[in-house]
Structure 1
Amino acid sequence: MTSFAAVSTYLPPSVPIAELREDSPLDEGMVRRFQRFYGLSAVCRDPERDEEGLLLAAADKLDALRGQEERVRYVVQARTFPNSRPNPTSALRRVAEELGLPNATAFAVTGQACASGLQAVDLCGRLLAADGDPDALALLLTGEKTFTPVARCVPRSNIGGEAAAAVLVREGGAADGDRVLGRAVRLHGSYHDEVVTGLASSAEFNKLYPTALGDVMLAACENAGITLGDIDLVIPHSVNTISWKAVADRLELPVERIFLDNIPVTGHCFSADPFINYGTAGQLGRLRPGARYLLTAVGLGATFSAMVVEH
């Protein structure tokens, strides 16, 4: 069994989306649509920090890491984009050095786009289980810069935000951690061209979306040995509110049981979304000991992913 030993987040100030038109594909009409129908009013942007700075800002707030640096065996960055800077070099090794992790192997995973964060939790658990050291830890880092027009805005879908999360992962159902009870992943590879060429039908994908996401959420609950009715709160990826209302209708799930508080102010922060929302829900007192939560993510390509966690 894999557990979250701790979660920390970094959210830079929010910028009104009407102020983003100069550096993104947004026009005045799109701004109004995002505000009126998609539930977006502002997004996180941090012009003062590069990717390395974003990751360090989240990891520096991970108090549970203090004094445990030598126990960290892996530093894993979950990425949506293969690179987030013109020069294809990784900031991850420098981040590991800055955090003082002498025994850690550092690498990134990108294969499931925005669903790579949940994939990385599962991968960290498998690696730690194979090591056989009950005290070993893995540090998962998520957060990217919106350095291209595509990263800044996907019309009729989302506006990219810059925020980060750090998750300390351990193997075993620690009493002071959040246990992963179940997970499910579904791949719809016919939409791979949407990532590579942009020629796939948005109408077809939008029609598939609520059914495919609803199905993987139910599958994760089944894998955990529970039903959707046993879930106290859905911790979502922050694409937009209109798509979540469609999923709620599909599952006959009250929309109040989906944590949508961050969508208006963070935008879609790629692989970091579910962990950012988990951290915010905890800060707001929305996570109760013994309660179960359903984390979700969807990556273009297309990967639908869900994970059940017990707090």
Structure 2
Amino acid sequence: MTALTEVADYVPDQSVEIADLAEELGVSAADLRIFHRYFDLHRIRLAPDKDLRGLMVAAADALTGLRGNEHRVRYVLAGRTIGTVGRVSKNALHEACDELGLGHAVALTVTEHACASGLLAVDLAGRLLAADGDPDALALVLTGEKATIPGSRMIPGTTVMGESSAACLVRAGGGPGELLGYAARTHGEYHRVTPPKELAVRFGQQYLSMLVDAMRAAVAAAGIDFADLALILPHNVNRYSWSRVCQQLGLPLDRVHLDNVPELGHCFGADAFLNLADALRRGRLAPGDHYLMAGVGLGATFSAMVFRH
């Protein structure tokens, strides 16, 4: 069994209007109106003063349970979308571990599920800890990236990328924060980030059903029904796609925590963790509540996890 002990976020102070980035990103006036009116995408946060190492450290520093427990952290996993983030001679994850006092931990990066790699990292962390058999051991999962590589600033016609980050502590075992069900579905026919038009059209047509399928599988694995979910913590691609998901599942849209979509945009694999941290601050989860975290990675992987708070 796997459980989330704590989650924390780092949201940069600099808020930038998407309209101010339109020319740079090649967003037309018509597309900008769609982003605002239908997608509810208005602003993103940028961290010009931080590199990838800085984003990871800032989120981890916000974890109250990390300080004084560094010696218990056996694994540090970065769930990333982008595989190449710097020079061969420079390793942002190892630098972050050193700065956090975690140089003794096994550090690795998970990229196979793209923007759903954060959920994969949580599952992998729990499996590694369970195999070790130390009930006091912890794993640190880090998510969030820099939107600086060409092509990483926006998914055309879908969303704009922000630079907020998140961190969570994972332990093996049940109790509060227990992971009840996990499902990941990879549709390899969509492996190209920039597919030909025919394939892109087909992906758009099947996107909803593939996401709903993963969510249903996770809920079934948890042994509950959708009616038992107090909250869905989404990936922040846009509001419109989640309204369609709710229509298909027969759920009210307010069951999905969409507050961060207009303010943060899509923050790679950090979205669901950012939304969890925000939901906890707002008191949207009570002890014993079930919630679902969802993520979609281009490539294409659709993932969902169900937890008991």
Q: Is the pair's TM-score, using the shorter chain for normalization, greater than 0.5?
A: yes
Aligned to 2:206: 208
The residue type equivalent to 2:179 in the other structure is V
1:263-282 aligned at under 5 Å gives the runs 263-282=261-280
Moved more, 286-295 or 95-104: 95-104
Shift of the 88–234 alpha-carbon distance from structure 1 to 2, 3 Å rule, reads farther
Q: Secondary structure at the match of 1:5?
A: strand
Separation (CA, whole Å) in 2 of partners of 1:209 and 1:74: 33
Moved more, 79-88 or 264-273: 79-88
Shift of the 85–38 alpha-carbon distance from structure 1 to 2, 3 Å rule, reads farther
Aligned to 1:29: 30
Q: Is the 8 A contact 1:25 1:149 kept in 2?
A: no
1:158-197 aligned at under 5 Å gives the runs 158-174=159-175, 177-193=176-192, 195=193
Shift in Å, 1:101: 1.4
Aligned to 1:62: 63
Shift in Å, 1:47: 1.0
Q: Secondary structure at the match of 1:30?
A: helix
CA RMSD of the aligned region, Å? 1.5
Aligned to 2:215: 217
Q: Could you list the per-position Cα deviations for residues 185-211 of structure 1 after superposition, in whole angstroms to 9, with x for gaps in the alignment?
A: 111111112x16565632211111111
TM-score scaled by length of structure 2: 0.96
Structure 2 residue 261 is matched with structure 1 residue 260: no
Q: Could you list the per-position Cα deviations for residues 1-57 of structure 1 after superposition, in whole angstroms to 9, with x for gaps in the alignment?
A: 101111000011321101113542323332222111111010111111111111111
Q: Secondary structure at the match of 1:306?
A: strand
TM-score scaled by length of structure 1: 0.95
Shift in Å, 1:90: 2.5
Aligned to 1:76: 77
Moved more, 89-98 or 264-273: 89-98
Q: Could you list the per-position Cα deviations for residues 122-177 of structure 1 after superposition, in whole angstroms to 9, with x for gaps in the alignment?
A: 00000000111111110000110001342111111110010100000000014xx4
The residue type equivalent to 1:126 in the other structure is R
Separation (CA, whole Å) in 1 of partners of 2:276 and 2:287: 14
Aligned to 1:113: 114
Shift of the 84–71 alpha-carbon distance from structure 1 to 2, 3 Å rule, reads same
Separation (CA, whole Å) in 1 of partners of 2:196 and 2:163: 23
Separation (CA, whole Å) in 2 of partners of 1:180 and 1:239: 24
Aligned to 1:15: 16
Aligned to 2:4: 4
Separation (CA, whole Å) in 2 of partners of 1:20 and 1:246: 27
Aligned to 1:251: 249
The residue type equivalent to 1:180 in the other structure is L
Q: Could you list the per-position Cα deviations for residues 98-122 of structure 1 after superposition, in whole angstroms to 9, with x for gaps in the alignment?
A: 0001430111000000010000000
Q: Is the 8 A contact 2:125 2:170 kept in 1?
A: yes
Shift of the 22–90 alpha-carbon distance from structure 1 to 2, 3 Å rule, reads farther
Q: Is the 8 A contact 2:94 2:103 kept in 1?
A: no
Separation (CA, whole Å) in 1 of partners of 2:293 and 2:124: 16
For structure 1, the 5+ residue unaligned runs are none
Q: Is the 8 A contact 1:85 1:147 kept in 2?
A: no
Shift of the 168–109 alpha-carbon distance from structure 1 to 2, 3 Å rule, reads same
For structure 2, the 5+ residue unaligned runs are none
Aligned to 1:302: 300
Moved more, 89-98 or 26-35: 26-35
The residue type equivalent to 2:241 in the other structure is S
